[in-house]
Amino acid sequence: MAELPVIDLSPFYEGGSDGRRSVAREIDRACRELGFFGVVGHRVPPDLVAETRSIVREFFELPIQAKLEVRTPDRRSGRGYVPVEGEALSATTRFTAPPDLKESFSMGPPDPGDDPYVRFEPSGVAFSPNVWPDRLPRFEPTMSRLYHALGSLADDLLVLTTLAFGLPPDWFVARNDRPTSALRVLRYPPGTHLGEGQFPASPHTDYGTWTILHKRPGRTGLEVQALDGSWTEVHAPEGGFVVNVGDLLMRWTGGHWLSTLHRVTPVDSSDPRGEVSLAFFHQPNWDVMVYPWTTDVVERPERAERYDPGSPERHYRGMSVADLVFGKYRASVSVAGEG
């Protein structure tokens, strides 16, 4: 059974070059062994996280018709509300499972501007307009503030990535000056009956570079699969975040860092209103081509059977951010009848 390492980022911010290298080594070790770790000592204001969780609760407790008012008709954009069973994450892997028993709301870049880059394909999909519930005026500004705060944390993690691999410190700058990241908030409703083979969130890997997840401490049903095939429960650190490697970063690192299968299984929530999670998915510029930056590419036969043949996780040919991320997203909603 794997245990989630928890990494204090304080030396990155306060310890000079030695502190930064020390944190980078810890992250490198965690990403090679599990692909998941916890972070504390970050610079995301705790009151902002608490405020977001509160307003997210208010949103999910609205009547279903009110939530459906912010369900976009064009699911390509990944914006707005997705009801229970509106997505099947397992469709992006070899696993087969019914649509997931969760509901979500997603936003993209809150202030993209009007440059042609953000208005035309392929980037236009990633910069689609956000939609907001009129009934909750605090929802948009609160979500946007958290989006920017977690985007800054993701930028710091990219700096640590360059340190871990000896890349130039500005390696990501030109590839990340128009990021296409998404903030998704989720609720796993209480008291729901799972169908045969159904999960609150079925087994999957994440699509981008870094995922930054806020869950309450304790048992929440999040499980990751270690290299030996065993599933282990992940508990979020008090006052911190759970961070994991996505498919893009696994590709860039030539498989040395793991984009790990994970899932959410049912638990008896301490909150009768159900479990709430806040998930930030960092994605760089939509038109960036992703190749391994090392010739020492790692194929992992112990993981091969978990993915479809020819999938990006196993083969490291060049692929754009748009094709990889949007391709997997489209697969997940198409199976659920949303594509």
Q: Output the pLDDT for position 306.
A: 56
Ordered by start, the domain boundaries in the chain are 6-335
Q: CA 145 to CA 48: how far, in whole Å? A: 8
H/E stretch holding 333 = helix 321-335
Q: CA 329 to CA 38: how far, in whole Å? A: 25
pLDDT tens digits for the chain (339 residues)?
Answer: 468 999 999 999 998 999 999 999 999 999 999 999 999 999 999 999 999 999 999 999 999 999 999 998 777 778 999 999 998 888 887 778 899 999 999 999 998 888 888 888 777 788 999 999 999 999 999 999 999 999 999 999 999 999 999 999 899 999 999 999 999 999 998 766 788 889 999 999 999 999 999 999 888 889 999 888 889 999 999 999 999 999 999 999 998 999 999 999 987 766 778 899 999 999 999 999 999 998 888 876 655 555 554 454 555 678 899 888 888 777 777 655 554
pTM given for the model: 0.94
Report yes or no: 133 and 66 within 8 Å, Cβ to Cβ. Answer: yes
The alpha carbon of 127 is separated from its chain's Cα centroid by a whole number of angstroms, namely 17
Report yes or no: 245 and 31 within 8 Å, Cβ to Cβ. Answer: yes
Three-state secondary-structure class, residue 329: helix
Sheet containing 182-188: give its strands across.
Answer: 6-8, 36-40, 241-245, 210-214, 275-281, 182-188, 103-107, 80-82
Instruction: Provide the angle, in degrees to the nearest 10, between the axes of the packed helices 139-165 and 16-33.
Output: 90
Instruction: Provide the angle, in degrees to the nearest 10, between the axes of the packed helices 139-165 and 46-60.
Output: 130
Q: CA 44 to CA 129: how far, in whole Å? A: 25
Q: CA 185 to CA 73: how far, in whole Å? A: 19
Q: Output the pLDDT for position 299.
A: 73
Report yes or no: 60 and 103 within 8 Å, Cβ to Cβ. Answer: yes
Instruction: Fold for 6-335, please state it.
Output: Jelly Rolls (2.60.120)
The contacts of residue 127 (CB under 8 Å, 6+ apart) are 108, 109, 112, 118, 119, 180
Q: Output the pLDDT for position 303.
A: 59
What amino acid occupies position 15? Answer: G
* N residues, the chain: 339
